Amino acid sequence: MDAALQLIQSASDIGSAVAHRLKSAGYRPVLLESPTPGVTRRLMSFAGAVHEGSAELEGLRARRCATPEEARRLAGTPGVIPLLVADLDAPLPLPARVLVDARMRKRREPPVQIAAAPLVIGIGPGFRAGVHCHVVIESNWGEQLGRVITEGGSEPYTGRHRLVAGLGRERYLYAPGPGTFRSERALLEPVRAGETVGWVGDAPLVAEADGILRGLAYSGIVVEAGAKLGEIDPGGDPANCRGIGERPARIAAGVLEAVERFHGAG
C-alpha cells in the first residue's frame, strides 16, 4: 500500500465511519470539515475535533491540524486521523489518490469532481458514476445500502425516514426558518414532546417525540430553513447514540471495497 492520501469531505457520522474504516484497513485518510459543521450526531462522529482539537470514535482519534503539511505528516500516525478545517467547496488543500464526497447534500445537485483525484467516490443521492465521480456508494436504507456502483447512479432522495418505534420524521428537529441556532440542551438529555429544545432566531425548536437527544447541532451555527438540527432516540438508550451506526458502517464498507478494487485508478 502506498503513502497516498484519501481525503474525505465531511466529518459527519458517515464521513467519520469512512475515515475509521480506511484507517483501520491501513490507509491514510484525512478528514475535511467546515469551520461550522452542521453535524448533529456528535457522539457518532469526529466533528468535535473542529471545536475541541480532537475527538475519539471507537478507539481512533481525530486531531485537528493547523496546516495541510501537518495533516500529511500525521496521516501515517497509528490510531490518529488528521482533520483539516477547510472550505469544502474550494480546491482540495492536499493532493490525494482518493477523494470521498460524504457531504450527503440530498436534494442538491452533486458537484462534478471526477477530475479532482484518480479515484473519486460519491456517497448519496444524485451522484452518477462517470459524471460526478468514478464510483458511487448507495446510501438509502435497504438491501442495496453500501453497494458499489460503477455504472449509473444512486437511488434518488425519497424524503422518507426509517421508522423507529413507529416514528419517522417526528424523531427529527428541523429549522423552522433561517437564522442562528442556539440551544442550552446537551446530547443524551431526556426530552418530551412539546418541549423547546432550542431556537432559530426567535423561533422555538419544539420536540415532537419523547426520548433522549441522539443528535443536536452545535449552538451558534447559521442555518437555512429546513436544516436538520436534532434527533430524538425514542427508546432512550444511550448506546444508540454513540459509536458507528449500522448505516454509516455499511456505507464505509462499500467505500473500502471501492478503494481496494480501484485504488490507484487513473
DSSP 53-92: SEEEETTEEEEEESSHHHHHHHTTSTTEEEEEE--TTSPP
Task: For residue 225, give the C-alpha cell.
Answer: 430553513
Cβ count near 23 (within 10 Å)? 20
Using an 8 Å Cβ cutoff, are 123 and 145 in contact?
no
Distance CA 205, CA 181 (A): 9
Over residues 75-103, mean pLDDT: 95
Distance CA 54, CA 139 (A): 27
- Domain parsing of the chain, residue ranges: 6-157+246-262, 169-234
Distance CA 94, CA 50 (A): 18
Over residues 94-111, mean pLDDT: 90
Question: What secondary structure letter does DSSP report for 129?
Answer: B
Distance CA 34, CA 51 (A): 11
Over residues 75-85, mean pLDDT: 97
Task: For residue 10, give the C-alpha cell.
Answer: 465531511
Over residues 97-105, mean pLDDT: 94
Tens of pLDDT, residue by residue over 221-246, are 999 999 999 999 999 999 999 999 99
3: confidence class by pLDDT, cuts 50, 70, 90: low
Which overall architecture, per CATH, does domain 169-234 show? Beta Barrel (2.40)
Over residues 34-54, mean pLDDT: 95
159: confidence class by pLDDT, cuts 50, 70, 90: low
Model confidence, pTM: 0.92
83: confidence class by pLDDT, cuts 50, 70, 90: very high
Residues 6+ apart with CB under 8 A from 239: none
Instruction: Please tell me the predicted confidence (pLDDT) of residue 256.
Output: 97
Over residues 172-181, mean pLDDT: 96
CATH of the domain spanning 6-157+246-262: 3.40.50
Q: E strands, 91-195, where?
A: 98-101, 119-123, 135-137, 148-149, 172-174, 179-182, 190-191
Phi, psi of 105 (to 5 degrees): -80, -5
Q: For 116-125, 127-136, 154-163, which range has the lowest pLDDT when averaged over its residues?
A: 154-163
Instruction: Please tell me the predicted confidence (pLDDT) of residue 163.
Output: 66
Give yes or no for residue 1 having a pLDDT over 60. no
Using an 8 Å Cβ cutoff, are 21 and 255 in contact?
yes
Give yes or no for residue 264 having a pLDDT over 70. no
Per DSSP, the three-state class of 256 is helix
Computed over every residue of the chain, the mean pLDDT equals 93
